[in-house]
Amino acid sequence: MEKNKIFDEVEKMLTEQNFNIITKDDTRPWGGFFVIDENQAQDFANIYFDGIDVDGLRIGGKLSPKILLVAPEARLSWQYHHRRAEIWQVVSGTVGIKRSPTDEEGELVEYKPKDQIKLEQGERHRLIGLDNWGVVAEIWQHVDASNPSNEDDIVRVQDDFGR
């Protein structure tokens, strides 16, 4: 499937679900993402995380919902974050994820729709597209209310795109 087609499909789905899309970024070399209004975190969790209570996800700050789209055979950077933990749930497609508490990459584990992944603050991780596009719902769990995480809170240990 072409990149613009999958992005159009996901945007249509989010709009039909009455989500307010704050940002659409389809310029990433690995795919891209949609940022959803933080005030809709519980609605997002109801649909994409089987109704999990978002109050139980709060660590020290707000929650930021996103949808990630990873292209076939593309790899996000081997990375970690200082100011957030994350919870992911696969929406469609099968994706690979590598995880580790250290800079050494762990084994690839495949995840299918409805599989949920919890990443701790500082845990190294890499999302990998396999045979087809993968769509993953994500909630950022900010650890510091006075200094919330953002796209700059990425420590890249390894990156296929030289970032």
Q: What is the DSSP string of 110-142?
A: EE-TT-EEEE-TT-EEEEEE-SS-EEEEEEEEE
Looking at the domain assignment, is residue 91 inside a domain? yes
- The span from the CA of 13 to the CA of 7, in Å, is 10
- At 103 the pLDDT is 96
Amino acid identity of 59? I
Q: Tell me the pLDDT tens digit for each residue of 19-66.
A: 999 999 999 999 999 999 999 999 999 999 987 888 778 777 788 999
Contact criterion met (CB below 8 Å) for 120 and 111: no
- The span from the CA of 107 to the CA of 127, in Å, is 12
Q: Tell me the pLDDT tens digit for each residue of 64-98.
A: 999 999 999 999 999 999 999 999 999 999 999 99
**What residues contact residue 2 under an 8 Å CB cut-off, 6+ apart?**
none
Q: What is the 3-state secondary structure (H, E, C) of 32-101?
A: EEEEECHHHHHHHHHHHCCCCCHHHHCCCCCEEEEEEEECCCCECCEEECCCEEEEEEEEECCEEEEEEC
- At 162 the pLDDT is 86
Structural domain containing residue 115:
3-158
Q: The domain spanning residue 106 has which CATH number?
A: 2.60.120.10
- At 145 the pLDDT is 84
Please count the structural domains in the chain. Answer: 1
- At 86 the pLDDT is 94
What pLDDT band is residue 160 in, cutting at 50, 70 and 90?
Answer: very high
- At 132 the pLDDT is 97
- At 23 the pLDDT is 97
- At 60 the pLDDT is 77
Looking at the domain assignment, is residue 163 inside a domain? no
Q: What is the pTM of this model?
A: 0.93
Q: Tell me the pLDDT tens digit for each residue of 114-150.
A: 999 999 999 999 999 999 999 999 999 888 888 889 8
